[in-house]
Amino acid sequence: MVGEMAALGVQDVKAILDERAWSPRQLDEHTLRCTLESDAGEIRLVVRHAGPWIYLAVLPFLEAAELKPWGSGKYPPRFLGRILAVNYNLTLVKFALDDDGDLTLRAELPTESIQRGEIEVALDLLVGVTQQYRIPVRDALLDAGRATERPSMLPPAPASQPPLATDDPMEGEPAIEVHAPSVELSSKPLPRDP
């Protein structure tokens, strides 16, 4: 039909990567991987076509060898909050944790009405943001890690509530318990005003 766009498939995405001379390698029928050299180190880009969505990611964002003992889901206090603050300032691409707890930079695009230019913009942003943020994010992680190793110079925070008595019957109970509703709701329509 006139005006409708055909959804882009894996081979269309592969063609975009080939045109950039990024030498995509097909891992399976839905997944492509490219390795790019940059001033910020090697960028491993993964593109997965999952039916209604195309997922693009720099995976992993940071090299595991540089992060020890951090990574794989273990991060110092306040580091992930700093990553969320960075996400607030990013458009189309966002930092996330993968299934293994490693930091990634991702973009998710719906395939139903996607245009070639949207994939190109996402690819440019993934590479550009990686080049711009990889070293500062790594340094922020290492600084946050060093901060946890040093004793705090601040006095301990005051307790927000007085301590519970040792014979308190509520000790060990959850703060909020959710039970089944105690009122049965009626689904009858409300009367209308004449």
Percent of the chain with pLDDT over 70: 73
Q: Is the pLDDT confidence value at 44 over 70?
A: yes
Which pTM value belongs to this model? 0.72
* Interior/surface letters 111-126, b for 16+ CB within 10 angstroms, e for the rest: beebeeebbebbbebb
Distance CA 77, CA 87 (A): 18
- What's the pLDDT score for residue 168? 47
Among 6-10, 38-42, 121-125, the least confident range: 6-10
Distance CA 84, CA 70 (A): 18
Q: What value does the mean pLDDT take over residues 165-189?
A: 46
Sign of CA dihedral 124, 127, 132, 136: positive
- What's the pLDDT score for residue 65? 77
Distance CA 152, CA 149 (A): 9
Q: Give the C-alpha distances (Å, rounded to integers) separating 60 from 3, 14, 97.
A: 39, 21, 9
Residues forming a β-bridge with 34: 45
Q: 1.20.1440.230, 3.30.70.1350, 3.40.50.2300, 3.30.1460.10: which CATH number matches 10-149?
A: 3.30.1460.10
Give CA torsion, residues 118, 124, 125, 128, to 10 deg: -170
